[in-house]
Chain A
Amino acid sequence: MAKPKLIKERVPTPERPVEERVKSFVEVNLGYDFASALKEAERCIQCPPEYAPCIKGCPVHINIPGFLKALRENADNPDEAVKNALRVIWNDNTLPAVTGRVCPQEDQCEAPCVMGKVGDPINIGKLERFVADYARERGIDQELLKEFIAETDGKGRVAVVGAGPAGLTCALELAKMGYKVTIFEALHEAGGVLMYGIPEFRLPKDILKTELEKLEKLGVEVKTNYIVGKTVTVEELLQEYDAVFIGTGAGTPKLLNIPGILLDRIYSANEFLTRVNLMKAYLFPEYDTPIAVGKKVIVIGAGNTAMDAARSALRLGAEVTIAYRRGREDMTARVEEIGHAEEEGVKFEFFLTPVEFIGDENGKVKAVKFEKMRPLEERDRRGKRKIVGTGEYVTIEADTVIIAIGLEPNKILVEASGFKANPDGTLIVDENLMTSIPGVFAGGDAIRGEATVILAMGDGKKAAKAIDEYIKDKKANA
């Protein structure tokens, strides 16, 4: 038999044209249709699951060849094919419409893909997204959901704090096992960063909301406007629930401690993105929350948050420059998003560290003074080249500044509950993700500092298993 021919090139996914997308918050990438998804899935050489490097590269170990195979096996019955593929994905990941859009696949599953040695790696992220989207559009996910509804037979009650990817995953996994779960969320809507941070042009809110509907279907109760540590304490939760999971994320912005930080129109990326995304300030005054943005915006930082802020500012009509203290190769944002930002006209300046914000007579920012940096050969712990100041300065005009230099966990919970924590506020947990308080588990950015959606979900899943064992033990010994 002739060897099947390897197709080296990816089947591309269409994107909205640049001119159109810089004017709106509508999603940029349009995704596959069934025919093109199938074509892309057929490029996979189906490495055996125990070997498949893509599975190993995925933090939650989705059975990737398995879901691709499911798509291929029912090529003449798309609905059936997608249903089977989604079932395989859901085994490991309950939010594929999200991860298919926001995971840095190029560093995870796609990085070691065997096809990458001869051509392009399989476009796993976009295929995952396709399965989720197609299923949602046809209502297939609703049908499949019925298979996952479990009897709540008095197994136990669990409180989940925070409705970001970590908390959501933990809640969904526990619900699938038959636990009664209540989520306590500080904001008025669930979703965490997915809701308030990541803009619609990357993750449309309607899509996120359908993912969130799973909670209700699986019997998870969500109490919004509850700030654990204020509205209710962890101690009180422990009296009512058999175990608690903390998924409060890393939501507090780091600000620069340099002169001028209090000037008007200097935003933390969180303030800017929350106003724009969660509160829909881009639709002001139809929506009540305002945002004041000038014509020349400087964004400081080079992670996903910086890209999201820059591209949002662009859509509000500004000229945007990203200033980063290191070089191009050290930017931490997803490659796709850096690409999108460049295409859309965001300018990049490298090796610049802000040292002062300069204001006008009304207290509004008018420029940023930077020190020029120089890279050294030496590398730091994370493999990035170290940088030093040169003693040379430049001043760049700006009427709006957005600071996106990182986030750390909010102190509210640690202070209110007496958890053992690291100096940066991340909670200390054991190998089962249990915190210093027995029966209280934690995961996601709350223990890692700023990380990723999929790592948060992985923690949520792992904690769910540990909580299950913990409660079983507790009940057995009671």
Chain B
Amino acid sequence: MYRITAKEELDVRDFFMEVEAPHVARAWKPGQFVVLLIHKKGERIPMSIYYADRETGRIGMFIRRHGKTSFDLWDNFDVGDSLYAVAGPLGTPIEVKYYGNVVFVSDAVCGQAENYATLKAMKEAGNYTISIQTFEDRAHSYPEKFLAKPVADEYYLTTEDGSRGIKGHYLDVLKELIEKDKVDIVFGGGKLGSLKKLAELTREYGIPTIVTVRQIMVDGTGMCGSCRILYDGEIKFACRDGPMFDAHKVDWDDVIRRDSRFVREQEIAKKHYLESRGVV
């Protein structure tokens, strides 16, 4: 069992959770994720890592209240309670080395966690780090202390409606930076649709771009093939061969389509859960 050591609201939808998982904390590297199973009847859900502390054996995560599992986790699990399973770290770490000017862009929960985690390592490797974090609006943006600012040499926060930080999307800020010739490599995470656009943008300029390809997973170890994607004309497993891939080689339309494979079932699960809580 894996004890919850901290839990805090980030915005109206996302929350932060810290869990004791020393086996993961000691081995985790940026680019890798974990799989959680909150209770015995649960689903195995992948999560990015915000930090992994070897000393305390704890890992931090940003989690969005999305559907059944994440609702359940928020509603029914508090500090002191335990999760049934935390497996990992999974996936292939990204290569942390000197690239020059490294940008990390993100516009949704799993990307926001990685933005901090990746740039922290990149800064330690001597890179000049630039972070761009996009939120929808002020109500959906995170408190200062959870932003990637401390690990960025240059930091930009944008909201799509301009209610906090710069008005616009990370794509707009990035384009400016590229035109100023400040970008050697881009890493990214978050919404799949934005990552597709990101790939189109950086391809034009020939800038290497590595992003998290989120796919629906079961085991997370390469055993089931649920997370398969088309990459450079070949089938790859996002959990084992990724989850971070060269954005220019990913077939984004297929990735986006496969992400909605279980929408109907997810709605049923959510309804079932809310009914059991007497909410609807």
Contacts and interface: CB of A to CB of B under 8 A. Distances in A.
Interface of A: 186-188, 196, 223-227, 230-232, 251-253, 255, 257, 261-262, 264-265, 267-268, 270-271, 274-275, 279-280, 284-292, 363, 410-412
Given A227-B87, A284-B269, A287-B41, A410 B23 contact: no
A46 B255 CA distance: 62
Given A264-B261, A284-B269, A289 B218 contact: yes
A231 B89 contact: yes
Given A186-B219, A230-B90, A231-B88, A288 B225 contact: no
B113 to A, nearest CB: 19
B179 interface: no
Nearest to A280: B41
Contacts of A289: 42-44, 218
Nearest to B258: A262
Given A270-B224, A292-B261, A188 B37 contact: yes
Contact of B69 (A275, A280, A288, A363): A288
A154 to B, nearest CB: 26
Interface string B246-280: 00000100100110011011101100110000000
Interface in B183-241: 218-219, 221-226, 228-230, 235, 240
Nearest to A185: B87
A270 B225 contact: yes
B230 A262 contact: yes
A226 B23 CA distance: 8
B140 interface: no
Interface pairs A-B: 9 shortest CB-CB? A290-B265, A268-B225, A225-B87, A271-B224, A288-B43, A285-B272, A188-B85, A251-B223, A289-B43
B269 A285 contact: yes
Contacts of A196: 223
Given A231-B89, A262-B228, A410-B222, 10 more contacts: A186-B219, A227-B88, A227-B90, A230-B90, A232-B27, A268-B225, A285-B68, A287-B42, A289-B44, A290-B269
Interface string B57-73: 00000000000110000
B235 A261 contact: yes
A230 B24 CA distance: 9
Given A224-B85, A227-B87, A285-B272, A274 B23 contact: no
Interface residues of B, number: 44
Interface of B is mostly: mixed
22 contacts: A187-B219, A188-B85, A188-B87, A224-B85, A225-B88, A230-B32, A231-B88, A231-B89, A262-B251, A264-B258, A264-B261, A267-B225, A270-B225, A274-B219, A285-B68, A285-B272, A285-B273, A288-B41, A289-B218, A290-B268, A292-B261, A410-B221
A288 B68 contact: yes
Interface string B34-60: 000100011110000000000000000
Nearest to A233: B27
Given A262-B254, A270-B224, A275 B218 contact: yes
B240 to A, nearest CB: 6
Contacts of B258: 262, 264
B84 interface: yes
A200 B219 CA distance: 19
Contact of A290 (B85, B89, B219, B266): B266
Contacts of A290: 43, 262, 265-266, 268-269
Interface of B: 23-24, 27, 32, 37, 41-44, 68-69, 84-90, 218-219, 221-226, 228-230, 235, 240, 251, 254, 257-258, 261-262, 264-266, 268-269, 272-273
Contacts of A227: 87-88, 90, 221
Contacts of B251: 262
A271 B225 CA distance: 6
Given A255-B225, A292-B264, A225 B23 contact: yes
Contacts of A291: 265
B240 A410 contact: yes
A288 B23 contact: no
Contacts of A230: 27, 32, 88-90
A370 B57 CA distance: 53
A288 B240 CA distance: 23
A25 to B, nearest CB: 16
A262 B68 CA distance: 26
Contact of B221 (A262, A279, A412): A412
Most B CB within 10 A of own CB, among A226, A288, A291: A288
A227 B223 CA distance: 12
A301 to B, nearest CB: 14
Most B CB within 10 A of own CB, among A223, A274, A286, A291: A274
Nearest to B29: A230
B268 A268 contact: no
Contacts of B32: 230
Contacts of A265: 261
A190 to B, nearest CB: 13
A188 B85 CA distance: 6
A30 B37 CA distance: 34
A290 B260 CA distance: 13
A362 to B, nearest CB: 8
A288 B27 CA distance: 29
A193 to B, nearest CB: 10
Contact of B218 (A255, A279, A412): A279
Contacts of B87: 186-188, 224-227, 231
Contacts of A223: 23
Nearest to B21: A225
A85 B108 CA distance: 61
A270 B62 CA distance: 30
A231 B27 contact: yes
Contacts of A257: 235
Contacts of B264: 292
Most B CB within 10 A of own CB, among A196, A223, A265, A270: A270
Most A CB within 10 A of own CB, among B41, B69, B84, B230: B41
Contact of B257 (A279, A280, A363): A363
A265 B258 CA distance: 10
A411 B85 CA distance: 24
Contacts of A363: 257
A274 B248 CA distance: 32
